[in-house]
Structures are given as structure tokens and as C-alpha cells.
Amino acid sequence: QLQLVESGGGLVQPGGSLRLACAASGFALDYYVIGWFRQAPGKEREGVACSKSSDGSTYYADSVKGRFTISRDNAKNTMYLQMNSLQVEDTAVYYCAADSILVSVQAMCALSRKYDWGQGTQVTVSS
């Protein structure tokens, strides 16, 4: 059974950092395009960062460029989202997803395809 489980969320003050993790099971993550998404209360889900290892392409939403970094550890079959300089506006539930290697990072982060979402992990940025 293919499964992704997010972890690492929490409460952090503005300017702080968090690292989210997404553990994959049932498939090898290194053969997939990976992405992180978030949904704030009352807002639609949006793509935050997506990455394709086969061509090295990466996409970041303008709101997180320079602050967030997506990565993967194939040995651990886990993807990460390092979030620095967190802002109140980053408060949301964060989700991860994986897609076919044929999909572009832009298409994935634009949510042009449907994904089966897990529970997500809550990130709250507040003083």
C-alpha cells in the first residue's frame, strides 16, 4: 500500500524554523516527483515546493522563495521541507505528495492533478 505520512509541525514564533518530514512506504520515493502543499483556514490548498530529481528541477511558490527548501533522502525514503524565517502567513496544515516522473514540478505544484491527501501536519506561527 502506497502511503505518505507527514510529521514535524508545531508552534513556532515568527522568524523561527521548522523541518517537516514525509515518510514514504510501499514505493521508492526517488523515482517520483515530490511536493509539499499547504492549506490555511478558509483558503484553498496551494503548492509550496516541488522537486524532480531526474532533471534537477525545483519549483517554489513566490511566497516561500529563499526561505523554504525541499529535499529528499532516498536512503530513508523520506522527503523534507526546511522552513526558515517563518511568518504568521505560513500558518497552515502542510501536506506532501508524490507523482509520476513524467509530471513537471510546475504542474505538480499547480495542483493540476489530484492526490490522495494524508492527515498533514499543522504549522502554527505565532508570537
pLDDT in tens, 14-30: 999 999 999 999 999 98
| DSSP bridge pairs for 51 | 34, 58
Residues 92-110: pLDDT tens digits? Answer: 999 999 998 899 999 999 9
pLDDT at 31 over 90: no
Average model confidence (pLDDT) across the chain: 95
Q: Average pLDDT in the 62-88 region?
A: 97
pLDDT at 87 over 90: yes
Q: How far apart are CA 12 and CA 8, in angstroms?
A: 11
* pLDDT at residue 12, as a whole number: 98
525514503: which residue's cell? Answer: 77
Q: Whose CA is closest to 71, among 38, 54, 87, 49? A: 49
Cα dihedral 122, 18, 99, 44 sign: positive
pLDDT-above-90 percentage for the chain: 87
Q: Residue 2: pLDDT band by 50, 70, 90 thresholds?
A: confident
Q: Average pLDDT in the 115-121 region?
A: 94
